[in-house]
């Protein structure tokens, strides 16, 4: 059994086994997770959030980025955030087949994390796990999440930069891009750029963001063929501009989630479900009176 100080030392030395062990402790709130988190010396590794709608080819894109980063003799960590079903709490997106060729690469660390029913897709656990990864000497960390609901906004609180992956479908699709995506995107990636209408789509997107300050780049990629990946990786690894006005706001959101988790840690979800199952069949059940007993 490793002591927390030994685990911490091995983490700083870049041990993948120590990293995996600490991530498991943190994800499941097993002692000494709290001590390990408080002892972290969080590095300045750039964290890139990659989000976008299902079917945009994010996993293929992350795989292509990983191949390019490794060719440059750099180390990369990937945290794939999987939405979980509120009914069975099991991961719906266990499919990491595309990344299988990377699993034995000593420069690549891959971890999947279920969101555990956190509304919006990013849980406090994800925040903690990214901070652990930032202490392990990587050159780049990618957090990949499905762009559903609030998760796009929340990933912006986790990452130094957020890239939104889109695919060219119909010409008028550009009008339907949610304003929320415009607010959090530091770059747009038009993937599957060999499809018909892709050039028009990318140009319309550039027109849409041309007035943004700082300028939001639009990259065109064909991930499964490795096209456009070198240019994209150059941007991913470039220094993040100082003076991010969103940073205090995003850190406050991060702190809010950590406080929320600490205050909720004694709430046993399974006991809650069992008790509410019994109480809700009694005539006159009132959920507000029921929850009074949990404060």
Report the share of the chain in percent with pLDDT over 70. Answer: 78
Question: Which pLDDT value is given to residue 94?
Answer: 43
Rounded to an integer, the average pLDDT of 81-86 is 61
What pLDDT digit, counting tens, does each position of 46-81 carry?
999 998 877 788 888 999 999 999 999 999 999 988
Cβ neighbours, 10 Å, residue 120: 16
Q: Is the pLDDT of residue 40 over 80?
A: yes
Question: Which pLDDT value is given to residue 91?
Answer: 39
Lowest-pLDDT range of 82-86, 165-169, 218-222, 249-253: 82-86
Q: Is the pLDDT of residue 122 over 70?
A: no
* Structural contact between residues 108 and 138, judged by C-beta atoms closer than 8 angstroms: no
- In sign, the C-alpha dihedral spanning 63, 154, 252, 117 is negative
Please report which confidence band the pLDDT of residue 93 belongs to, taking 50, 70 and 90 as the band edges: very low
What pLDDT digit, counting tens, does each position of 171-202 carry?
445 655 656 666 778 899 999 888 888 888 88
Mean pLDDT of the chain: 81
Question: What phi, psi does 123 have (nearest 5°)?
Answer: -100, 165
Q: Is the pLDDT of residue 265 over 50?
A: yes
DSSP characters for 70-87? HHTT--EEEEEEE-B-TT
Higher pLDDT, 120 or 291: 291
| CATH 3.40.50.300 is held by the domain 42-264 | yes
Q: What angle do CA 294, 81, 250 make, to 5 degrees?
A: 70
* Structural contact between residues 128 and 37, judged by C-beta atoms closer than 8 angstroms: yes
Q: Is the pLDDT of residue 218 over 90?
A: yes
The structural domains of the chain, with segments of one domain joined by +, span: 1-40, 42-264, 269-295
Question: Which pLDDT value is given to residue 256?
Answer: 83
Higher pLDDT, 34 or 176: 34
Angstrom distance (rounded) from CA 228 to CA 191: 9
Q: Is the pLDDT of residue 3 over 90?
A: no
């Amino acid at each position: 059994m490793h002591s927390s100080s030994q685990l911490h030392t091995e983490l700083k030395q870049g041990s993948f086994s120590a990293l995996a062990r600490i991530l498991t402790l943190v994800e499941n709130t097993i002692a000494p997770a709290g001590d390990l988190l408080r002892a972290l010396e969080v590095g300045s590794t750039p964290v890139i959030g990659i989000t976008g709608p299902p079917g945009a080819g994010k996993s293929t894109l992350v795989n292509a980025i990983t191949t390019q980063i490794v060719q440059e003799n750099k180390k990369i960590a990937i945290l794939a955030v999987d939405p979980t079903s509120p009914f069975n709490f099991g991961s719906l997106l266990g499919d990491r087949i595309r990344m299988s060729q990377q699993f034995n690469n000593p420069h690549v660390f891959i971890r999947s994390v279920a969101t555990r029913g956190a509304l919006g897709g990013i849980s406090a656990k994800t925040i903690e796990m990214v901070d652990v990864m930032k202490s392990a000497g990587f050159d780049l960390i990618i957090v990949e999440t499905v762009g559903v609901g609030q998760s796009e906004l929340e990933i912006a609180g986790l990452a130094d930069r957020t890239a939104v992956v889109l695919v060219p479908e119909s010409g008028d699709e550009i009008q339907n891009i949610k304003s929320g995506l415009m607010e959090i995107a530091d770059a747009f990636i038009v993937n599957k750029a060999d499809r018909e209408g892709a050039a028009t789509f990318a140009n319309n997107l550039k027109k849409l963001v041309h007035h943004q300050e700082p300028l939001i780049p639009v990259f065109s990629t064909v991930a499964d063929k490795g096209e456009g990946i070198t240019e994209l990786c150059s941007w991913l690894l470039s220094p993040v501009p100082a003076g991010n006005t969103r940073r205090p706001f995003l850190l406050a959101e991060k702190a809010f989630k950590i406080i929320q988790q600490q205050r909720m840690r004694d709430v046993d979800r399974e006991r809650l479900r069992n008790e509410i199952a019994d109480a809700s069949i009694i005539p006159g059940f009132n959920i507000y009176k029921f929850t009074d007993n949990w404060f």
